[in-house]
Amino acid sequence: MGFQTNFSKVEGLGSSKEGTHHWWMQRLSAVALVPLSLLFVYTFMQTLGTGYQGFVDTYSNLGNAIVAILFLIVAFFHLRLGLQVVIEDYVHSKTWKVLFLIANTLFCWGLMGVGVISIARIAFGFVG
């Protein structure tokens, strides 16, 4: 076994069958983020200094809430894919790699969930 070359270990296994999907999803979310992030950042900057009432008023507006929710969903989806590539490239220990990948997925989906539900709560008029 020790004399086997790295190449012969992987020869004939074929591709992982899912790399293209990851690549495509990253690009698709990137395209969606071009308008979404512009709209989100514009609204966000206008709301930054307006205090609590200004903030609640902004995100009680249906259009602003939709933009913010869509932005958070797509941005965290895109972030998860991007961080996954970085982890796969730089973390070489198998154990740590798997742990980091799990943490990445939980962290990104978790933050997305908290963000979306928070905006929904404001948009539906439960606060303010």
Partner 1 sequence: MNKIRSHRPLSPHATIYRWPLNAIMSIMHRITGVGLLAGGFLIVWWFFAGAISESYYDFVSCIVTSIYGDLVMLACLIGFWFHFCNGIRHLFWDVGLTFNERNVMISAILGLLGTAFLTALSLLSIYFWYG
Binding site for partner 1 (CB under 8 A): 2, 4, 6, 27, 30-31, 33-34, 37, 41, 44-46, 48-49, 52, 55-56, 59, 68, 72, 75-76, 79, 82-83, 86, 111-112, 114-115, 117-119, 121-122, 126-128
Quote the radius of gyration of the chain (alpha carbons, Å). Answer: 20
Question: Shortest gap between Cβ of 17 and partner 1 (angstroms)?
Answer: 21
Is the Cβ of residue 15 or residue 45 nearer to partner 1 in the bound state?
45
Backbone angles phi, psi at 102, to 5 degrees: -65, -45
Q: How far apart are CA 33 and CA 25, in angstroms?
A: 12
Question: Shortest gap between Cβ of 6 and partner 1 (angstroms)?
Answer: 6
Is the Cβ of residue 1 or residue 14 nearer to partner 1 in the bound state?
1
Residue 15 is classified by DSSP as -
Q: How far apart are CA 104 and CA 89, in angstroms?
A: 14
